[in-house]
Amino acid sequence: MIDKAIPDAIGRVVATELKPATPHQFHFWTPTETAIGIGAIVKVEGLGGGGSGLGRVVYGVVTEGFAYSDLATPLHDVVGAEGDPTRATEAPTARQQIRYWTAAVLRQTPEEPLQPVPLGQVYLADDADVAQALRMDGFLYSATPTAIPIGLYTSAGRDSPVYLDADFLLGPEAAHLNISGVSGLATKTSAVEFLLGAIFAHFPAHKGRIAAVCFNVKGPDLCFLDQPGDLSDEDRHRYERLGVPATPFQRMQLYAPLKADGVNLNTLRTHPDLVGDVEPLTWGLQEVVDYAEVLLNRDDIDAKADAFIDFLRDRVLGKSFDDGFGTTHRVQTFADLDRFFRSIFDGLEITAGGRSDTWRTHHIATMRKVRNRLLNISTRCKGLVTDDGPSSDLPWKEFADRTVYVIDIANVDPLGQDLVFARVVSKLREQLERRELGVEAVVVFVDELNKYAPGDGPDTYVKKMLLDISERGRYLGLVLFGAEQFRSQVHRRVVGNAGTQLFGRMDMDELATPGYQVLTPATKSKLATLPIGELMVRHPHFTQPIFVRFPKPPVLRGRDGVERFPPAADVPFEDAVVRQLVRLDRRVRPNQVKDLIAEREQDDVRRALAAVRRTRPDDVLAYFRKVLGARVDAEAGMPRERQAVPPLNPISDEPY
Which residues lie closer than 8 Å to 231 by C-beta, 6 or more apart? 239, 246, 551, 552, 554
Identify the residue with better confidence: 244 or 332: 244
Domains along the chain with CATH numbers: 11-125 (no CATH), 148-281+392-563 (3.40.50.300), 286-380 (no CATH), 571-637 (no CATH)
Least confident interval from 30-34, 159-163, 192-196: 30-34
The total number of residues written for the chain in this structure: 656
Query: How large is the average pLDDT for residues 383-389?
Result: 77
Residue 169: how many CB atoms within 10 A of its CB? 27
From residue 413, how far is each of 258, 409, 410, 453 by CA, in Å? Answer: 12, 8, 9, 18
Long-range Cβ contacts of 204-207 (<8 Å, 24+ apart): 204/144, 204/145, 204/146, 204/166, 206/144, 207/146, 207/166, 207/170, 207/440, 207/441
Give residue 641's pLDDT: 43
Q: Highest mean pLDDT: which of 89-93, 176-180, 268-272, 327-331?
A: 176-180
Query: How large is the average pLDDT for residues 543-572?
Result: 90
Does the structure show a pLDDT above 90 at 216? yes
Confidence label for 539 from pLDDT (cuts 50, 70 and 90): very high
Least confident interval from 133-142, 332-341, 557-566: 332-341
Least confident interval from 29-33, 164-168, 213-217, 375-379: 375-379
Give residue 639's pLDDT: 42
| Rounded Cα gap, residues 510 and 178, in angstroms | 16
Give residue 332's pLDDT: 83
Give residue 354's pLDDT: 58
Does the structure show a pLDDT above 70 at 654? no
Confidence label for 299 from pLDDT (cuts 50, 70 and 90): low
Residue 524: how many CB atoms within 10 A of its CB? 16
Confidence label for 325 from pLDDT (cuts 50, 70 and 90): confident
DSSP state of 157: G
Give residue 382's pLDDT: 84
| Cβ pair 278, 272 in contact under 8 A | no
Least confident interval from 444-458, 521-535, 632-646: 632-646
Q: Highest mean pLDDT: which of 114-123, 317-326, 612-621?
A: 114-123
Give residue 481's pLDDT: 95
| Cβ pair 271, 568 in contact under 8 A | yes
Query: How large is the average pLDDT for residues 487-498?
Result: 91
Confidence label for 542 from pLDDT (cuts 50, 70 and 90): very high
Give residue 637's pLDDT: 38
pTM summary value: 0.85
| Cβ pair 450, 484 in contact under 8 A | yes
